[in-house]
């Protein structure tokens, strides 16, 4: 099924949006690039590098996102520090595992299915952690559930924040015009923060049209956030892959989803 010129808003960070935009355009859609998140380095490079120089203190290094992998490599000379450490490396999902492999880092544990904290915690290796030390590599101000549950299973847990999320300084006039003309067909969002930033980056006068536009999200958690903001038509993908997002977008455009849900 084709998208027949439908305008699809892609809010992924600019460096992660290329593949989804290509898929949309291959299906005859118009990918409207509007990143609502950007990834930036932190100011405490010395402290981060010091932690990375002493990874032998940990049994597990847990990467929670592909961005965490990218920025880890930024601070650690392309990951060379990690390659020679005895620490085992866990990835929260397949995209993170792929980023680790591309960085030349071994992946010792990735969920058999699923792309979430819950899927990783369900793995047998994560059940009994008494006496083990875990370092969670993440962005500044990430969620706490993973550390809380690891500690409940006996692990000692520390964080290594390697990036911060910022709101990009970009022109919103194209998106505002599409909304005003009722020509924005579907919005795609892959995080709660990206959705919150979308509202911040647009004028309040645009919000009423925005919340009536079909919204494709990649988890029930984001669906709940969107519903709390007033979005009326929300579709959840089967998984957070670009292909799954495209299929759900196509269903929205071609009438394969009954609204409201």
Convert the pLDDT of each residue in 245-261 to its tens digit: 999 999 999 988 887 65
Q: What is the pLDDT of residues 66-91, one digit of tens each?
A: 899 989 888 876 555 556 567 899 99
Residue 252: in which H helix or E strand, if any? helix 242-254
pLDDT at 54 over 60: yes
Which candidate, 151, 91, 155, 157, places its Cα nearest to that of 123? 91
HSE-up of 254 (CA within 13 Å, CB side)? Answer: 14
Please name each of the domains of the chain with its CATH number: 7-37+168-254 (3.40.50.10090), 40-165 (3.40.50.10090)
Q: What is the pLDDT of residues 196-221, one digit of tens each?
A: 999 999 999 999 999 999 999 999 99
Measured CA to CA, the distance from residue 17 to residue 36 in angstroms comes to 11
Copy the structure tokens of residue 186: 């579907």
**Reduced to 3 DSSP states, what percent helix, strand and coil does the chain have, rounded to the nearest 5?**
45, 20, 40
C-alpha span between 61 and 175 (Å, rounded) = 40
- Report the SS3 class of residue 249: helix
Q: With beta carbons less than 8 A apart as the criterion, state whether 219 and 174 touch.
A: no
Closest among 168, 210, 162 to 185, alpha carbons compared: 210
Query: Which pLDDT score is estimated for 119?
Result: 87
């Amino acid at each position: 099924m084709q998208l027949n010129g439908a305008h699809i808003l892609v809010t992924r960070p600019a460096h992660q949006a290329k593949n989804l935009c290509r898929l949309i355009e291959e299906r005859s859609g118009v990918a409207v690039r509007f990143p609502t998140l950007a990834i930036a380095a932190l100011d405490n490079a010395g402290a981060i590098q010091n932690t990375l120089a002493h990874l032998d203190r940990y049994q597990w290094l847990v990467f929670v996102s592909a961005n965490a992998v990218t920025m880890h490599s930024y601070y650690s000379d392309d990951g060379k520090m990690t390659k020679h450490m005895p620490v085992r490396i866990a990835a929260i999902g397949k995209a993170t595992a792929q980023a680790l492999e591309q960085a030349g880092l071994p992946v010792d544990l990735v969920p058999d299915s699923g792309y979430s904290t819950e899927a990783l915690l369900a793995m047998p290796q994560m059940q009994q952690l008494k006496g083990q030390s875990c370092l969670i590599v993440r962005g500044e101000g990430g969620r706490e559930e993973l550390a809380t549950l690891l500690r409940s299973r006996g692990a000692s847990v520390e964080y290594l924040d390697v990036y911060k999320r910022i709101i990009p300084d970009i022109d919103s006039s194209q998106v505002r015009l599409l909304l005003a003309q009722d020509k924005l067909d579907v919005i795609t969002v892959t995080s709660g923060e990206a959705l919150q930033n979308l509202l911040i980056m647009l004028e309040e006068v645009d919000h009423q049209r925005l919340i009536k536009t079909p919204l494709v999200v990649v988890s029930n958690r984001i669906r709940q956030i969107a519903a709390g903001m007033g979005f009326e038509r929300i579709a959840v993908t089967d998984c957070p892959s670009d292909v799954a997002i495209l299929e759900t977008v196509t269903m929205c455009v071609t009438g394969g989803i009954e609204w409201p849900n």
